[in-house]
Amino acid sequence: MKLSIASKFNLVFVTIFAVGFVAAGFIADSLLKQSAREETLQNARLLLEAAKSVRGYTAKQIQPLLANQMKYEFHPQSVPSYSAVENLNVILKAYPDFSYKEATLNPTNLRDKATDWEVDIVQKLRKSPDLTEYSGERETATGRSLYIARPLQIKDGACLACHSTAANAPKTMVDIYGPNNGFAWQLNEIVGAQVISVPMAVPLQRAHAIFRTFMLSLLGVFVVVLIALNVMVHLLVTRRITHLAQVADQVSMGKFDAEEFQVKGGDELSALAQSFTRMRTSLASALKMLDE
């Protein structure tokens, strides 16, 4: 199969572009997905920091104010974990796909009881005490979700006043939650994890939209460049070569009066045309001398 110079050029150019297009798409897709994941992680960390702030505020500001009242009536608002969950739930009402939980293996309030997948996370944190944060992805009913977990560790001995034994715990608390849950905790023990789950749907959709725009733009640039290069090849190469070939055919058949090939420019084709013109003149002179 005979291919013209333009066809060969297009074949090579399209092949190179196809390889580059696939490589660029793979790299762009990976980077955009990584960016979406980092964005989701950042959102989750902001919520965890908000929960941490609420816990600290409750422990330092609210608990001392309610200390005397706790002797007569237990106020869960004085518990840092309760306050953190309640405050985050208010914030997350506007984002129903987000969730925050202080998942605990043996909680006082059973609403904090860790589910199966949360138990696995807590156990990983317990096995690696130096691990300050653990993240992963999981499928949910609303789509793929990313979670971050931070250990809930008993670092303050004051916490054991409520969580060592039912006998030592405030009676008002035991009356509400019972004597069977949230006890036998140990100092420095990791009893649970702060778990925040953030959906990845929106960041991934944004990443996909950017990816499509990028790939379509890249394809558009390729088409424009291909057209421009084909026009240049036609004007600067193939048209001149075709004309030179036509003149050469006429000369080969003895038509030395054929149209002169116009030499323009100083490129390689111009040099070839000049050489052909000199050869044509020399050949015509030689044949004329033979005839004489």
Residue at which a domain ends, from 144, 165, 199: 199
Please tell me whether residues 105 and 28 are part of one structural domain. yes
Q: Are 76 and 27 in contact (CB under 8 A)?
A: no
Indicate the pLDDT class of residue 256, thresholds 50, 70 and 90.
low
C-alpha distance from residue 164 to each of 24, 74, 141, 186 (Å): 59, 17, 38, 7
pLDDT of residue 28: 93
Q: Is residue 6, in this structure, part of any structural domain at all?
A: no
Please tell me whether residues 123 and 254 are part of one structural domain. no
Q: Is residue 184, in this structure, part of any structural domain at all?
A: yes
Please tell me whether residues 247 and 189 are part of one structural domain. no
**% of the chain residues with pLDDT over 70:** 90
Indicate the pLDDT class of residue 276, thresholds 50, 70 and 90.
confident
Query: Which of the pair, 1 or 180, is modelled with greater confidence?
Result: 180
CATH code (residue 264): 1.10.8.500
Please tell me whether residues 168 and 221 are part of one structural domain. no
Please tell me whether residues 271 and 236 are part of one structural domain. yes
pLDDT of residue 19: 93
- What is the tally of structural domains in the chain? 2
The count of residues in the chain is 292
Indicate the pLDDT class of residue 288, thresholds 50, 70 and 90.
low
pLDDT of residue 103: 92
Please tell me whether residues 59 and 99 are part of one structural domain. yes
For residue 257, pLDDT over 70 is answered with no
Q: Are 102 and 192 in contact (CB under 8 A)?
A: yes
pLDDT of residue 192: 93
Q: Is residue 1, in this structure, part of any structural domain at all?
A: no
Please tell me whether residues 26 and 170 are part of one structural domain. yes
Please tell me whether residues 51 and 184 are part of one structural domain. yes
Indicate the pLDDT class of residue 264, thresholds 50, 70 and 90.
low
Please tell me whether residues 142 and 41 are part of one structural domain. yes
Q: Is residue 142, in this structure, part of any structural domain at all?
A: yes
Number of C-beta neighbours around residue 43 at 10 A: 19
Residue at which a domain ends, from 168, 199, 230: 199
**% of the chain residues with pLDDT over 90:** 26
Residue range of the domain that includes 60 = 16-199
Please tell me whether residues 162 and 260 are part of one structural domain. no
Indicate the pLDDT class of residue 56, thresholds 50, 70 and 90.
confident
Q: Is residue 4, in this structure, part of any structural domain at all?
A: no
At 138-165, the pLDDT tens digits run 888 878 889 999 999 988 887 888 888 8
Please tell me whether residues 34 and 122 are part of one structural domain. yes
For residue 282, pLDDT over 70 is answered with yes
Q: Is residue 271, in this structure, part of any structural domain at all?
A: yes
For residue 97, pLDDT over 90 is answered with no
Q: What is the pTM of this model?
A: 0.69
Question: Which of 35-39, 66-70, 96-100, 209-213 has the least mean pLDDT?
Answer: 66-70
pLDDT of residue 224: 92
Q: Is residue 3, in this structure, part of any structural domain at all?
A: no
Residue at which a domain ends, from 199, 221, 254: 199
Q: Is residue 11, in this structure, part of any structural domain at all?
A: no
Report which residue type is found at 13: F
Please tell me whether residues 134 and 110 are part of one structural domain. yes
